[in-house]
C-alpha cells in the first residue's frame, strides 16, 4: 500500500512516526513522510520518501523561539497555553491541509496517518468517509478525551475529589483558552467551507479518526469510557544508533539514581525551576542532586 504520514515537525512527534514508518516499510508498504525539512535525512535513511511541509508551517527544532519569541517571555499560565495552542497548531491548519492535499494529488494514498497534533488533518476528517482515504492517528501525548471530572487538557490536574474542586479553573480555562481558541479554529474551518467544531480540535482528532493509536498502555490514562476506535498499542520500537552518545554517557552506569527533567518540545529553555523543585523533593526525602545536564547536552534524536 501507499501510505502518507503527516507529522508535526518536532522531535517528540517525528520520533514515534519514524518507528511506525519502519514497521510499515518492513511489511513492504511504500511510505511518504510529510513533515519538516530538519527531518529529511532521517526519513530517507530508513527508506521512506520525504515530502516537505510548507515553510510557513515548519518549525526550527533547534531554536523554536526564533519563530515564536513570545513563548519565552510570557509567564506560565492559561494565556501562554492559549497562545501556544493557537500559534503552533490551530493557525497552521490551512497551510498543513493545502500542503497535504498537494501530496495526496501526487500520491494516491491507500491510508493517511497523522499524529494527534497535526490539525491539518481535521478538514479531511470532517469530510464524508466516502470521499477520503482511511485516516489513522497516533497519540504522542496525553489521550485527548474528556475526563469524568471535566478537567481540561494540558493542565496536569489530578482527579477531582468533588465536582467543585476544579470548577474555578475550568471556568477560567473556558474563558481564557477554550472560547478564544474555538473562535480562531472555526474561523479557519469556515474559510475552508467546513465546521464548526464544538469540541477542542485535539478531542476531534480522536473522535473523527477511523482508528486512533495511543502510544502507551491503558494504565497511563485516567479510566473512562473511550471510543472503540482508540487502541493502546504501546511505544513503537526505538531506532538503534540514531545519534552518537554524549561524552558523559558513561556516567549513567546504573549505580546511582538518575532524575530526568523534561519539559517537552517548547518549554525547555530554563530548567532552573524544575531542578529546584526536584532538589527540594529529594532533599526532603534525604536524597541529593549529583549533577545537572542542560537540554543542549542531549541529541534531539533521543
Task: Quick: pLDDT tens for 242-281.
Answer: 777 788 888 888 888 887 776 666 555 555 555 555 555 4
Domain that holds residue 36: 2-232
Where do the DSSP E strands lie in the chain?
2-6, 30-35, 49-52, 111-115, 135-139, 211-214, 230-232
Count: domains in the chain = 2
pLDDT at 262: 66
- Sole residue written with cell 496536569: 156
Does residue 211 lie within any of the structural domains? yes
DSSP 17-74: HHHHHHHHHHTT-EEEEEE-GGGHHHHHHTTPEEEEPPGGG---SS-GGGT-THHHHS
**In this prediction, what percent of the chain has a pLDDT beyond 90?**
67
CB 239 within 8 A of CB 22: yes
161 and 253 co-located in one domain: no
Task: Identify whether 286 is part of a domain.
Answer: yes
The per-residue pLDDT for range 96-133, each reduced to its tens digit, is: 999 999 999 999 999 999 999 999 999 999 999 999 99
Same domain, 191 and 288: no
Q: Both 140 and 50 in a single domain?
A: yes
158 found inside a domain: yes
pLDDT by residue (tens digit) across 140-175? 999 999 999 999 998 989 999 998 999 999 999 999
* Residue 111 CA: distances (Å) to CA of 134, 189, 204, 263, 274: 5, 23, 19, 33, 41
| 136 and 68 assigned to the same domain | yes
One domain for residues 129 and 277? no
Domain annotation covers residue 242: no
State mean pLDDT over 212-225. 93
Q: At what angle do helices 179-191 and 93-106 cross, to 10 degrees?
A: 40
One-character DSSP codes across 252-264: --SSS-------T
Q: 107 with 188, same domain? A: yes
Same structural domain for residues 139 and 270?
no
Q: Which residue has the higher pLDDT, 229 or 301?
A: 229
259 and 289 housed in the same domain:
yes
Question: In whole angstroms, what is the distance from residue 42 CA to residue 242 CA?
Answer: 9
In a domain, 123, yes or no: yes
Residue at 243 is within a domain: no
Q: Does 228 share its domain with 267?
A: no
Whether residue 302 is contained in a domain is answered as no
> Domain check: are 208 and 264 in the same one?
no
CATH code of the domain in which 200 resides: 3.40.50.2000
Q: What is the mean pLDDT of the chain?
A: 87
Are residues 223 and 269 both part of a single domain? no
Domain co-membership, 181 together with 73: yes
Domain presence at residue 239: no
For 138, the 3-state DSSP assignment is strand
Amino acid at each position: 500500500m501507499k501510505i502518507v504520514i503527516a507529522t508535526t515537525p518536532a522531535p517528540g512527534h517525528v520520533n514515534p512516526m519514524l518507528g511506525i514508518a519502519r514497521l510499515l516499510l518492513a511489511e513492504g508498504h511504500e511510505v511518504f513522510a510529510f513533515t519538516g525539512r530538519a527531518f529529511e535525512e532521517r526519513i530517507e535513511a530508513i527508506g521512506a520518501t520525504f515530502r516537505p511541509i510548507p515553510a510557513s508551517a515548519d518549525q526550527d527544532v533547534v531554536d523554536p523561539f526564533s519563530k515564536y519569541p513570545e513563548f519565552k517571555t510570557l509567564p506560565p499560565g492559561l494565556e501562554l497555553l492559549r497562545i501556544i495552542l493557537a500559534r503552533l497548531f490551530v493557525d497552521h491548519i490551512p497551510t498543513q491541509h493545502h500542503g497535504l492535499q498537494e501530496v495526496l494529488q501526487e500520491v494516491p494514498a491507500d491510508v493517511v496517518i497523522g499524529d494527534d497534533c497535526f490539525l491539518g488533518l481535521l478538514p479531511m476528517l470532517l469530510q464524508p468517509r466516502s470521499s477520503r482515504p482511511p485516516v489513522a492517528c497516533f497519540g504522542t501525548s496525553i489521550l485527548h478525551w474528556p475526563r469524568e471530572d471535566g478537567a481540561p487538557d494540558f493542565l496536569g490536574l489530578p482527579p477531582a475529589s468533588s465536582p467543585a474542586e476544579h470548577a474555578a479553573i475550568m471556568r477560567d480555562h473556558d474563558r481564557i483558552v477554550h472560547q478564544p481558541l474555538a473562535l480562531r479554529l472555526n474561523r479557519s474551518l469556515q474559510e475552508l467551507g467546513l465546521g464548526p467544531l464544538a469540541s477542542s480540535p485535539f478531542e476531534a482528532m480522536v473522535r473523527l479518526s477511523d482508528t486512533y493509536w495511543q502510544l502507551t498502555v491503558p494504565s497511563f490514562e485516567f479510566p473512562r469510557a473511550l471510543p472503540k476506535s482508540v487502541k493502546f498499542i504501546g511505544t513503537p520500537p526505538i531506532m538503534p544508533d540514531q545519534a552518537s552518545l554524549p561524552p558523559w554517557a558513561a556516567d549513567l552506569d546504573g549505580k546511582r539514581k538518575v532524575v530526568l527533567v523534561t519539559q517537552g518540545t517548547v518549554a525547555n529553555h530554563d530548567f532552573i525551576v524544575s531542578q529546584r523543585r526536584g532538589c527540594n523533593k529529594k532533599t526532603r526525602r534525604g536524597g541529593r542532586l549529583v549533577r545537572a545536564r542542560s537540554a543542549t547536552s542531549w541529541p534531539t534524536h533521543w
